[in-house]
Amino acid sequence: MKLWEKGIDVNSLVDEFTAGKDRETDLCLAIWDVIGSIAHARMLKSINMITGDELAALDNELKNILRQIEQGDFVIEDKAEDIHSQIENMLTTALGDTGKKIHTARSRNDQILLDMKLFARDRLREVAIRTESLFDTLISLSELHREVLMPGYTHMQIAMPSSFGLWFGAYAESLSEDMTLLRAAYKLTNRNPLGSAAGFGSSFKIDRSLTTELLGFDGMHVNVVNAQMNRGKMEKTVAFAIGSVGATLSKLAMDICMYSGQNFSFITLPDEFTTGSSIMPHKKNPDVFELVRARGNKLQALAHEIALISSNLPSGYHRDFQQIKERFIPSFDLLLEMLAITELVINKISITSGITEKELYRDLFSVEEVNKLVNSGVSFRDAYRQVADKIANGTFVAHKKIDHIHEGSIGNLRNDLIREKMNNEMADFHFEKAGNAIKNLIE
């Protein structure tokens, strides 16, 4: 039964079209719809809209449903339009009129807002933890290979000396900056919309502060119209943050694909992490990182897609948001898989030493020669011209002693500062607050 039915049969094609993929995607929200309902029921008891016995019955049955979800026995039946309808139907079947009271002072609009907030908050926690794990791996590899030089490139031309320590460390710091965006997305997500109802509040004397506390939110969306306007805005902000992580992984994957090729041979991927060709027996293809590259770019497109769906909508709820949900929910698994496979494979990469000793990379050290002349008193522009002339007439001799000692350079990586940045970002999430609140609510 649909929660909005009034005894009029809706055209079956309209019914199917408007339901979309709700039954499929809403399974990911089921646990959060139940948890939100537990908090809502406790709030209803606090304002005397239900009795203590009715709360006990609702609480017990909602936890029964929660166990079904956790055991994989929960389904959204064809007669139910979405997760909200399914759970209310189950409560009504089990408890009769008491089950019907769960929707008091609540709308499907603020239910789905709440479900999406709780879902995204939890998945952002998973993404942050997995991102930190890859960060730790990159920092460790940076320290391990800090002395091994490699060519640096601009415009796809050899530019200046770099190092594997610098390369790994760059991606580690990029992830720490992505974490800043993840934390901002988490902060916006961690606000309670429950009580906004259809978008204009309720004449019932509800206690929104109580549900905010019970669900472990940092605060609420105070204005009920703004709470509804946050639909789409929250998803777009989160999508931009996870897209930023995707961009870092995509760029790293591109480097690995390039550097593992025979024309570079800077790194070697283990055989078990490569694929072959159906006709070329010598091939060892970096398919894993080609897919990471593509998925990272796909994630970057998500925020733009959400913006296009939601940008021209007026305030209030609109069914357009259903399309956002269908793309937003799977994006977390996409990113988590990318993070996991990248960390797994990058730990097994072999680094090539002695690369810059090849004659091919002689000119890589031209800037070092320019700087050496400047230190001896020659003006920079004259030093630049002298070295350029030697390169042009073939008399340039590379002196390969590197003396980079400033912060963040080859000889002074300052990975301790990069780690400090990541630690500070992670500490500001305060995951334990939400975790403890949910634990207390369901136990």
pLDDT tops 60 at residue 367: yes
Q: Which band of pLDDT confidence, cut at 50, 70 and 90, is reported for residue 313?
A: confident
Mean pLDDT of 147-155: 96
pLDDT tops 50 at residue 4: no
Q: Which band of pLDDT confidence, cut at 50, 70 and 90, is reported for residue 21?
A: low
The rounded distance, in Å, linking the Cα atoms of 212 and 36 is 10
Are residues 158 and 276 in contact, defined by beta-carbon separation less than 8 angstroms? Answer: no
The rounded distance, in Å, linking the Cα atoms of 75 and 30 is 9
Q: Same domain, yes or no, for 338 and 227?
A: yes
CATH number at residue 62: 1.10.275.10
Mean pLDDT of 256-266: 95
* pLDDT single digits (tens) 97-122: 999 999 999 999 999 999 999 999 99
Q: Which band of pLDDT confidence, cut at 50, 70 and 90, is reported for residue 301?
A: very high
pLDDT tops 80 at residue 277: no
Tell me what pLDDT residue 8 has. Answer: 58
* Spatial CA neighbour of 438 closest among 82, 195, 121: 121
Q: Same domain, yes or no, for 56 and 157?
A: no
315 within domain boundaries: yes
Mean pLDDT of 353-366: 95
Tell me what pLDDT residue 19 has. Answer: 56
Tell me what pLDDT residue 276 has. Answer: 84
Tell me what pLDDT residue 16 has. Answer: 61
Q: Same domain, yes or no, for 179 and 217?
A: yes
Q: Same domain, yes or no, for 330 and 422?
A: yes
Which of 19-28, 61-70, 228-237, 348-357 is predicted least confidently? 19-28
* pLDDT single digits (tens) 134-143: 999 999 999 9
Residue 34 CB partners (closer than 8 Å, separation 6+): 62, 63, 65, 66, 69, 87
Q: Same domain, yes or no, for 116 and 205?
A: yes
Q: Same domain, yes or no, for 127 and 84?
A: no
Q: Same domain, yes or no, for 155 and 88?
A: no
Integer angstrom CA distances of residue 40 from 28, 48, 136, 207, 223: 20, 12, 40, 10, 19
Reading the block at residue 121, the tokens are: 């908050």
CATH number at residue 258: 1.20.200.10
* pLDDT single digits (tens) 189-238: 999 999 999 999 999 999 999 999 999 999 999 999 999 999 999 999 99
pLDDT tops 80 at residue 11: no
What is the count of structural domains for the chain? 3
- What's CA 289's distance to the chain center, in Å? 18
* pLDDT single digits (tens) 315-343: 888 888 888 999 999 999 999 999 999 99
Q: What is the pTM (predicted TM-score) of this model?
A: 0.92
Q: Tally helices (H) and strands (E) across the chain.
A: 16, 6
Q: Same domain, yes or no, for 372 and 353?
A: no
* Spatial CA neighbour of 2 closest among 22, 25, 29, 32: 22
Output DSSP code: residue 376: T
* Spatial CA neighbour of 189 closest among 233, 229, 126: 233
142 within domain boundaries: yes
pLDDT tops 90 at residue 275: no
- What's CA 169's distance to the chain center, in Å? 21
Domain holding 322, by residue range, is: 108-357+407-442
Share of the chain above pLDDT 70, in %: 95
Q: Same domain, yes or no, for 126 and 172?
A: yes
Q: Same domain, yes or no, for 199 and 73?
A: no
Q: How many residues does the chain have?
A: 443
